[in-house]
Amino acid sequence: MSQLQERTETNSTGGGEYDVLVVGAGFAGLYALYKLRGLGYSVRVLERGDGVGGTWFWNCYPGARVDVESLEYSYSFSEELEQDWEWTERYPRQPEILKYINHVADRFELWPDIQLETTVETAHFDEERGRWTVTTDLGEVYDAQHVIMATGCLSQRKNPGDEFAGLDTFKGDWYLTSAWPKEDVDLSGKRVVVVGTGSTAIQVIPKVAQQADHVTVLQRTANFSVPAQNGPMDPEFQSALKARYRAHRKAAKESAFGVPVEMPERSALDFSAEEARAELEARWQAGGAAPFMLAFTDVLVDERANEVVAEFVRDKIRATVKDPATADLLCPRDHPLGTKRLCVDTEYYETYNRDNVELVSVRENPIARITPTGIRLQDGTEFEADVIVFAIGFDAMTGALFDIDLRGRGNVALKEAWKDGPRTYLGLTTVGFPNLYMITGPGSPSVLSNMVVSIEQHVDWIADLIEHMRERGLGVVEATQEAQDKWVAHVHEVGHATLFPRANSWYMGANVPGKPRVFTPYIGGVGVYRQECDEVAAKGYEGFDLSGERSLATA
């Protein structure tokens, strides 16, 4: 029995009353526990997995790594933690991030309040008592005043069996990147077909190619990718940054994407072609996504400016990939750069120069079905496979919330309230669901940011609101319809002033059949958004109705 299993078994409380119930034990759930417990609330975290870490617990496929630099993609709430933890790479691999998150759980003694292997199935608001009743797959019943959904924006995986007929007939092995086995998967000597070419696929394909006998990549959409320029962490660089960590963190919090990148001052169109190329070349050599999207003032708002950057990347693809037909297939042409997640890779394009790797477009000739021996396309072409790797993404932003039978006032289901797309106030709360909070919810910068920065901001803001209520003896908080309508309109207006809605992206819900096409994250910028949230708080939580007797379970 693993240490974690032991912890779980000793942790089950069988239900009970809490001030705050947190669903999910990723970066968000752990910080929510640390913060609120520290303020004296009784807190319980319920997590489906048999370990903490969320994204970094589940996504243990070969090549999995973060694409925001480690010194930025880490908690800032504890200066001691920040100083003590030593990162070994500029962009760490999944095991290192998981080790870090487990260290956080150990260091701050979070384990006693975390219950693993527990899935929240229902959460219903009791209007009379102003409290939530939450049930789990273990048959437990929890009663909580506040519920924090730390369920993740990218945690509800898409099921390949729903998408591709015949998967149950396949005689080989198949793997989903977001549920990769914890034990080693040996692909040597195997014929592997990879389905997908998004952010995850771009990480996994080079690794699979190093092991497998032959790899066929089935590409529906070519995506833009820029190099990470990853490498071992320079100890001098790390200690120099740690010496000025407070200023660095402050800059991240005030920045556009949660990473301190100098803001551009000029339009791409003000540069000569040569100057623009030189500027982009410097960014290509430095590595990372944010510097590309912020190369010029107008990359994300002006098609011509975007095309300058897009064509630079296409030139890089053509210069890297030796076979012109493959290079051409890899060049994205159906969406502006950055409007689908800009991927960050290590030798992705180079991988197509290997003899054992072949790229096939399934855009015009889609996958018809999975057969017992491989994958058949609509025109009858068949690719034999010993192993299929699905890197097909997530039901992003709303999937994990809808997976729970979540009911607010009048027994209305969240799914019903959001049938035309998610509607929130500040991406944190939604009308009809009092005392329910979403971390990095729809309508907040969330997936368009360094998410650890956004998570900390949300948790701190929610904790301040709960404190505000406690100080005033108030029990129930709910966004007003007017405030929510205004916020939704603002998110829409800002989003539609950019090129983002031009892409069939998961930001738009386009990767899930039947999902409303709504640009879900807030692109106003991490710093601007923080100011907006702070102003709401400073005005006594403007846009919220605060009422009801305080009904904390303990206190």
Ligand X SMILES: Cc1cc2nc3c(=O)[nH]c(=O)nc-3n(C[C@H](O)[C@H](O)[C@H](O)COP(=O)(O)OP(=O)(O)OC[C@H]3O[C@@H](n4cnc5c(N)ncnc54)[C@H](O)[C@@H]3O)c2cc1C
CB of 131 to ligand X, least distance (A): 19
Contact (CB, 8 A) for 143 and 553? yes
Query: Which stretch, 53-61, 180-188, 464-472, 488-496, contacts ligand X (CB under 6 A)?
Result: 53-61
Handedness of CA 102, 105, 106, 110 (dihedral sign): negative
Beta carbon nearer to ligand X, 120 or 252: 120
Q: How far is the CB of 341 from ligand X (least distance, A)?
A: 9
- What length does the chain have? 555
Q: In sequence order, what are the residues at sequence separation of 6 or more whose Cβ sits closer than 8 angstroms to the Cβ of residue 1?
A: none
> 3-state secondary structure string, 216-260?
EEEECCCCCEEECCCCECCHHHHHHHHHCHHHHHHHHHHCCCCCC
Please state, in angstroms and rounded to a whole number, the distance separating the CA atoms of residues 44 and 29.
10
The C-alpha atoms of residue 242 and residue 480 are separated, in whole angstroms, by 42
Of the candidates 545, 408, 534, the one whose C-alpha atom is nearest the C-alpha of residue 479 is 545
Q: Does 144 bind ligand X (CB under 6 A)?
A: no
C-beta of 443: minimal distance to ligand X in Å? 15
> Could you tell me which stretch among 25-33, 126-134, 314-322, 487-495 binds ligand X (CB under 6 A)?
25-33
> Which lies closer to ligand X via its Cβ, residue 155 or residue 346?
155
Residue selected from 7, 8, 26, 329 as contacting ligand X according to rule CB under 6 A: 26
Six-digit token string for 203: 């990480």
Determine which residue in the list 7, 37, 48, 146 makes contact with ligand X, applying CB under 6 A.
48
Shortest CB 342 distance to ligand X, Å: 11
- Give 440 or 444: the residue with its C-beta nearer to ligand X: 440
Q: What is d(CA 473, CA 171) in angstroms, rounded to the nearest whole number? A: 62
Q: How far is the CB of 378 from ligand X (least distance, A)?
A: 29
Using the rule CB under 6 A, is 442 a contact of ligand X?
A: no
Is position 196 an interface residue for ligand X (rule: CB under 6 A)?
A: no
**Among the listed residues 359, 92, 328, 133, the one whose alpha carbon sits nearest the alpha carbon of residue 233:** 92
Of the residues 36, 150, 367, 477, which one makes contact with ligand X according to CB under 6 A: 150
**Pick from 11, 12, 119, 356: which binds ligand X (CB under 6 A)?**
119
Q: Is the separation of the CB atoms in 89 and 230 below 8 Å? A: yes
Q: Under the criterion CB under 6 A, does residue 23 sit at the interface with ligand X?
A: yes
Rule CB under 6 A: say whether 439 interacts with ligand X.
Answer: yes
C-alpha neighbours within 13 Å on the C-beta side of residue 412: 13
Three-state secondary structure of 370-411: EECCEEEECCCCEEECCEEEECCCECCCCHHHHCCEEECHHH
Out of 18, 27, 164, 522, point to the residue binding ligand X (CB under 6 A): 27
Query: In 414-543, where do the E strands start and end?
Result: 436-438, 474-479
Q: Does 450 bind ligand X (CB under 6 A)?
A: yes
55 binds ligand X, rule: CB under 6 A = yes
Using CB under 6 A, which of the segments 47-55, 168-176, 349-357, 529-537 binds ligand X?
47-55
Q: Which of 49, 130, 287, 332 is close enough to bind ligand X by CB under 6 A? A: 49
Alpha-carbon distance of 54 to 59, in angstroms, equals 8
Instruction: Choose one: 46-54, 227-235, 414-422, 524-532; the region binding ligand X (CB under 6 A).
Output: 46-54
The C-alpha angle with vertex 292 and arms to 289 and 294, in degrees rounded to 5, equals: 110
**Number of chain positions touching ligand X (CB under 6 A):** 37
Touching ligand X, residues 75-114 (CB under 6 A): none
400 near ligand X, rule: CB under 6 A: yes
Binding site residues, ligand X, CB under 6 A: 23-29, 46-49, 54-55, 57, 59, 64, 66-68, 73, 119-120, 150-155, 200, 400, 403-404, 439-440, 450-451, 455
